[in-house]
Amino acid sequence: MMLRMTTRAILIVCLALLFTAVASFGQLRTENVILVTLDGARTQEVFGGLDAEVFRSVNKNFTATAAYKNYNAPTAKERRERLMPFFWRTLMTKFGSIAGNRELGSQAKTTNQLFFSYPGYSEILTGQAHDDVIKSNDHPQNPFPTILDRLHAKFAAGPNAVAEFSSWDAFMRIATSKPGSFVVNAGYESFDTDDPAMRELFRLQSQVLSPWPSVRHDYFTFKLAKAHLQKHRTRFIHIGFDETDDYAHDKNYERVLDSLHMTDSWLKELWDLIERDPRYRARTSLVITVDHGRGNTTSDWSDHGKDVPEAQYIWMAFVSPDIPLRGEWRDTETVYQNQIAATICRLLQFDLNSVDTGSGKPIKRLFAEK
């Protein structure tokens, strides 16, 4: 009798714990997630603003440039706020938090050891590094299901429940293992739409040519993604900006800074849309991150890859009605790029690890302080 009671008591406790976990999971308010990536945007600029030594190394007359006059200030805090005013003065102060400032004891890193774009984006979207398979930016169609593939199947709501809009044409290969299942728009690609604003953007993107044949201007990527969101009420979308990386490879530091500043204005525009639209307001989480970092010196700031160890360091920002954290993370355990996919899925009440045991786990700190 005592044994039966003990067994019954244990069963009751286990069921109570299970129901508590399920209830907690069900209390999340997030119904939509927007993932924004800034290709190769260094932690140095994001946390410290304009880097005068780097600027001087590429332009001896840098103090005469408009960028220097616009973004320079006495302290790192002032410089980063001049560079990305909405991000730092509003988004990270009132609505979200950011990991990756090593000076404050916060590290964010890739798990892939290649430190360039295709492996980084695949790690973000699949939750795993695949260094043994994905070894080049020219890798063909991603053989591994991404969270766009997983969420498309979960939502079962037609081809517009998830979407990919990116400036780099490689995302036609990176974003999905099943091309044609949902909208993947990258580079100079277009598609049939009855939306007149999108049709005009598709027309113009081929007339306003960027310096890089495989990359359209980020302006078109953002405006197309925004129009798609407004029209289709998409539940998960990835918006991939690229110019921060391309201008860095060109060692055009002035344009790197301008690109960060412009992206900040688009983040504000995106946030204004979220706040105005009842479909998205208080129901949408925003994740902002990068595929890789870059070098930390005047000789390698423009580079990344396995020969640039500094490029393993990245940053991640999270804005969500379900996450109370604000500001910069301090003295926390390292978080990894392979955790982003499971974290996004967790916000959408989908357990990625149940269908992909090799993927990274959701970031505990984001859900531990509810």
17 band by pLDDT with thresholds 50, 70 and 90: very low
- What residue numbers bound the domain in which 137 lies? 31-368
Q: Which helix H or strand E contains 5, and what residues bound it? A: helix 2-26
Predicted local confidence at residue 157, as pLDDT? 81
Residues 1, 48 share a domain: no
Structure token pair of residue 350: 């989908």
pLDDT, average across residues 31-55: 98
Q: How far apart are CA 314 and CA 101, in angstroms?
A: 9
Angle between helices 76-83 and 253-276 (to 10 degrees): 70
159 band by pLDDT with thresholds 50, 70 and 90: confident
Residues 300, 280 share a domain: yes
Predicted local confidence at residue 158, as pLDDT? 84
Residues 195, 145 share a domain: yes
Q: For 172-194, how does the pLDDT look when each residue is reduced to its tens digit (9 = 90+)?
A: 999 999 999 999 999 999 999 99
State the total domains in the chain.
2
Residues 282, 201 share a domain: yes
Residues 37, 25 share a domain: no
pLDDT, average across residues 341-352: 97
Residues 215, 188 share a domain: yes
Residues 195, 178 share a domain: yes
Residues 12, 125 share a domain: no
Residues 35, 24 share a domain: no
Q: Which residues of 125-157 are buried (b: 16+ CB within 10 A; e: fewer)?
A: bbbbbbeeebeebebeebebbbbbbbbbebbee
Examine the pLDDT at 255 and tell me if it is beyond 80.
yes
